[in-house]
Amino acid sequence: MQGNRVFYLLLVAMLILWNCEDKKPLDLVGFDPPANSTGAKLNRGLLVANGSYQPGYSTGAIRSTEITISWQQASTSNFAAYQLYRDQEVVSTTANVAQTSYTDTSGIQPNTFYNYRLVTLDRNGLFSEDTIRIRTPIFETPYNLSSQNLTTTNEAIRLNWQNRAESASRYRIYRKISTAPSATFSAIGTSADTSFVDDNGLSANQTYDYQVTALNDFEETNRSGTLTVLNSYRLIAPDLTILSQVPGLRSVRLSWTDNSNANDQYRIYRQRGNESAEVIATVPNTSNEFVDEDTLASLAADSSYGYMVGAYNSFSDHEARNLSPDFITIRPPAPFTNIVEDFESEPTRRWRFFSSTVDGRITRRDTLAHGGQYMLLMDVARDGVYNINEAILTVDLSSIPANADLFLRFYSNTFDDEVTNVEDFVQVSSDGDSWTTIMAFQAAPFLWVRNEFNLREVAGQQPYSATYKIKWQQADNFSFPTDGIGIDDIEISSQ
């Protein structure tokens, strides 16, 4: 008993001594201000973060190379200074309590995230802080300019282009006469959308050069590349240059050359045997290729089909097309055999590649491949350009029973890409219209990962078909190896 009492007294004494020891101050580096704080707070309503960045884009507070941060004035009586941090680095310090904004222009890049932290200091040290995350807008020049003559009397030309300036509110159009040695570009008008009709004193059979910029109330892009237009109305039938069956598929590929400058669309016609030709698709005048994948409803093996392409303008309902179709006989595909795509040779015509911008890049790359020398790499050609890439493989699985196992295997490498399950994934589709996600890429920098899926498990949503599609999608804004996703050694097998 006596021993237990002594132990108890010693324990109490130790606890008393511990509680009397001087405490070291906490290593406080930041905190969210309480609701009743009198420290300065960012005017986030003028910027808006974590989603849409309006109104910052429309008010000029967020520009492609400049960000203006503002805040409420601190009301503490012990105010010492404001400190503004960008990505952990101090960009501004001021002891003037009434100075409640700062414009950051040092090294700001378009389409980039920046983290700002505003700290209010009082005479005792750190008082309060507030943080916000900002993304600058993509602000690139317009691209893919095209034209269309609108009248047979050559009095008007419509220009079209594609936009890649995220915060643009309008566009400015420039024109000069191509053949005049001393001619310079002059602004001839503005447009609120990606189309403009030039009817400003055009002369027939004259050649004009056009350029376009994107702008808002605060900044303007560089001028686009030059589009040269001969002002001479032409609506002539296209020349069909390719009519072929896609290897391994019951699909038909058409290509043609454009002979017109007055069309805004192409109509694709198909007829079976001696039946009447019918319009099966309409494509814009910026395209010169079409793939007829109507294998379930129309295209039958060992049957012949005729195709025609018509140049068409909707404003006058005029069309020019050849009256005699070109015919092709659909051959049945061979029974399904295992498919291997290792990219040691150029991708077959079963592949189709899409990029949301002209800077998107989907290429065979002879660096860091999984097996052999080459892989398929998706990235962007220019840093700072936000882009979505899609690599789509189409295979004929019509001979596979609905309840049969069919395995998709491939290797992937996300290198240093900041993948998300919203933008970086693999999907399958029976028809190219509805898609089912089978995996999202996981971050595994510079590590090849083996992926395997039984396509039977999604057969209820995406049944085997003659136009079964597998899509690898990747989004990024920097080039390899900073960003990018590699795909290699794809296999589709029943075992």
Handedness of CA 429, 434, 439, 441 (dihedral sign): positive
| Long-range Cβ pairs for the range 290-294 (8 Å, 24+) | 290/253, 290/254, 290/266, 291/246, 291/251, 291/252, 291/253, 291/254, 291/352, 292/251, 292/252, 292/253, 292/254, 292/268, 293/249, 293/251, 293/394, 293/431, 293/432, 293/467
Instruction: Tell me, yes or no, if the two domains 143-230 and 239-329 fold the same way.
Output: yes
Asked if pLDDT for residue 11 goes beyond 80, the answer is: no
Residue 196: pLDDT band (50, 70, 90) is: very high
Rounded to whole angstroms, the Cα distance separating 379 from 486 reads 9
Ramachandran area for residue 185 (φ above 0: left; ψ -120 to 50: alpha; else beta): beta
The predicted-structure confidence for 241-295, as pLDDT tens digits, reads as follows 999 998 777 889 999 999 999 998 999 999 988 889 999 999 988 889 999 987 6
Proportion of the chain above pLDDT 70, given as a percent: 91
Determine the topology of domain 143-230 in CATH. Immunoglobulin-like (2.60.40)
Residues in the chain: 495
CATH number for 44-135: choose from 1.10.540.10, 3.30.70.1450, 1.10.620.20, 2.60.40.10: 2.60.40.10
CB proximity list for 29: less than 8 A, separation 6 or greater:
126
Rounded to whole angstroms, the Cα distance separating 229 from 173 reads 14
Q: Indicate the domain borders of the chain.
A: 44-135, 143-230, 239-329, 339-493
**pLDDT given for residue 14 in this prediction:** 47
Domain covering 239-329 in this structure, CATH number:
2.60.40.10
Q: Which CATH superfamily is domain 339-493 in?
A: Galactose-binding domain-like (2.60.120.260)
**pLDDT given for residue 237 in this prediction:** 94
Residue 147: pLDDT band (50, 70, 90) is: very high
CB proximity list for 11: less than 8 A, separation 6 or greater:
none
pTM: 0.65
Residue 82: pLDDT band (50, 70, 90) is: very high
pLDDT, mean over the chain? 87
Strand boundaries in 136-226, DSSP class E: 143-149, 157-162, 170-177, 186-191, 195-198, 207-215
Sheet holding 195-198, edge to edge: 143-149, 157-162, 195-198
List the one residue out of 273, 296, 293 whose CA is nearest residue 281.
293
Both tokens of residue 272? 């079976």
